[in-house]
Homo-oligomer: A and B are copies of this chain.
């Protein structure tokens, strides 16, 4: 297979706050950047056709399948699964990954429903108990992979190790780092009881030297923005709150900056002169650029875009899907897991692992 030209992405065209009017123009932008890309589109014909007809290039690169129903943004996961299974645009975009019609599915639909359907349709990988959602986190060094940002609450030591391996495989697929550094998110205070799973995961990662990652140790909340490690691992409740806290803080500071720069005529004049610099800053902080949560641990890759994003944001999520497919994320994860479980079983056969 010619990887560079052979990537197919299935799209839930109805997903997100704006449906086809954002998803299709977004796909069209991504297509300009990756001319070999092909799409399988799922959605309601009367809503999709009028938009698709205005985008002839995209139309030529896509096949379209009518779906009689779509999942609402506020639908409960269990309800979405019950009513939308087999026939919704969301389900069918995922199913295309299962049948091999597409390499990755992308949806801007509601996260809970998407995860419920993805789990039901694709099932978790062998040895993986729980999937995770990985986010790309902009840092002062570049980008880190952070997971889980909200697939499930709580994680035991083994699940944290699974997340570490999957996150490292994703960092490798994304940035080509042979052995990404991995840190476990923790709090600084020593001897605080309660995070036994985090400590146990740390001990195991240290002992079981894995070929696919370098275990760095514990990291704290402020290490996220510093980019101390390539991959930051935590359970989904904390990860989700950390992600949204960072997003909120960025917005808050942008608001302060806007207010400061418009308050006096001197400030406005300064802003005018430094406009190029401010534009660069805005560009750097643009949340659309890192749009896309990657579902890891399932037999197939599904990417969740922000529901409220625009065409540029959707294009970024599709770019991410393309990168994951071209770089064989799923195969990388499967290979790493095989090596780990082989090693674990060898060590079990040889007695207790050595403490280092």
Give the interface of A toward B (CB within 8 A). Answer: 76-78, 111-112, 115, 139-140, 150, 152-154, 185, 187-195, 220-226, 234, 236-238, 240-253, 255-257, 260-261, 263-264, 266-267, 269-278, 280-281, 284-285
Contacts and interface: CB of A to CB of B under 8 A. Distances in A.
A251 B140 CA distance: 10
B248 A192 contact: no
Contacts of A192: 112, 150, 152-153, 236
Most B Cβ at <10 Å: residue of A188, A236, A242: A242
The 4 residue pairs across chains A and B that have the minimum distance between CB atoms: A270-B274, A221-B244, A153-B194, A222-B248
A281 B266 contact: no
Contacts of A226: 248, 252
A271 B272 CA distance: 10
Nearest to A115: B189
Contact of A246 (B246, B275, B278): B246
B221 A191 contact: no
A241 B187 contact: yes
8 contacts: A112-B190, A153-B192, A192-B236, A220-B240, A242-B245, A263-B277, A266-B274, A270-B272
Nearest to A280: B260
A260 B278 contact: yes
A72 B287 CA distance: 42
A119 to B, nearest CB: 12
A192 B251 CA distance: 27
B253 A224 contact: no
Given A250-B253, A284-B256, A112 B220 contact: no
Nearest to A244: B221
B241 A225 contact: no
A236 B193 CA distance: 11
Contacts of A273: 266-267, 269-270, 273
Most B Cβ at <10 Å: residue of A185, A252, A276: A252
A238 B238 contact: yes
A139 B245 CA distance: 12
Given A154-B194, A221-B241, A245-B246, A189 B264 contact: no
B248 A241 contact: no
A289 to B, nearest CB: 13
Given A237-B187, A248-B223, A285 B263 contact: no
A223 B248 CA distance: 7
A267 to B, nearest CB: 4
Contact of A276 (B115, B150, B256, B266): B266
